[in-house]
Structure 1
């Protein structure tokens, strides 16, 4: 099966390269219910995926471009024989809010004619103290719009950030993404919950999950996100 990854991933600070033991730890965490919703994605003969998001989608925190979760997902889809082909466009732009993503959706989404959009948003809105009710309303409207274009939507919430673990505003945006997923009946990959599971169930530390900037996923966390998405796209 042909698999193509398109786009430039921004390499960030080096992180923890996943060892065999780390792979097993991530598999343990993935056995938890971090997904909301089930996958109908196997109905596609080919996958045309746009990953729309901000810096973590762009690859920030990964030690090389190839270690970002979008690039790793493209490689993993090579092992999904149910699909004739897959193309993955990386449309992550560092610093983007949801408004920024909406402003470029004609060029970065609809012009590419995807059948799947991985939509990651919320972190920069929280950091910029945007209104969470407006964020939720606009995110819900965008999901509805994508569905009207017959595009399968997968939401990704914000990554785990140690300094924000007890920040109520950060958690309000996490909850908003989850609520939109439930209300619009689209799956949500709860990245924050996945990190918490790794810390509580596999005894990993925050330093083993984030890059040196203490903000973005490291190599291991990028791999774990890609693994979760790859599992979602595997037909049952």
Structure 2
């Protein structure tokens, strides 16, 4: 009888241990993100505001404007252009008035300042009035105690030949005496500036001091010849 030898089998390894490595897989977590929740409408902050004449600031492109908004922008720009144009016209008018009344050689202010300078530089006038540095010139009193300005009395007119005449008088006062300056100027037809017809100083109790007189200057007035007759 043959003997049967029994061999001890190795201890069985648990199945769970054999299968565990194969189950070791990396787990990938997926996160779902969602944007623009709420449908296809844009947020209120990105909505284009309606363009009006008062609210248009020019940021929206012309091609993005509706027909009504284009009309509103055109109206606003036209109004702004008219405001700028009116300001330019007003500024030009102010400068023109300033030039005609103050800067122009034919203005009353210019002629007044020139006449005052002539009085202060004349030796006979200085002898009557006193130190030239203390001679003052001023216009007529207005009768209002609140008014500080004393306007210069002056008139302009044209004679029958079309020549323009400027007449004015003003007061001068110095340390010795006071007096009145008489000015008469005329603009000949063939010239653009006034010329003296009379410039004189009257001081009470003294003979008139004549600085300019037309009769002493040859060819001061332009003669008019018509039908063979020379008119003056």
Q: TM-score range by the shorter chain?
A: under 0.3
Greater strand share, 1 or 2?
Answer: 2
Give the number of the structure whose alpha-carbon radius of gyration is greater. Answer: 2
More helix by share: 1
Q: Higher relative contact order at CA 8 Å, sep ≥6: structure 1 or structure 2? A: 1
Compute the TM-score of the two structures, normalised by the length of structure 1.
Answer: 0.20
Q: TM-score, normalised by structure 2?
A: 0.21
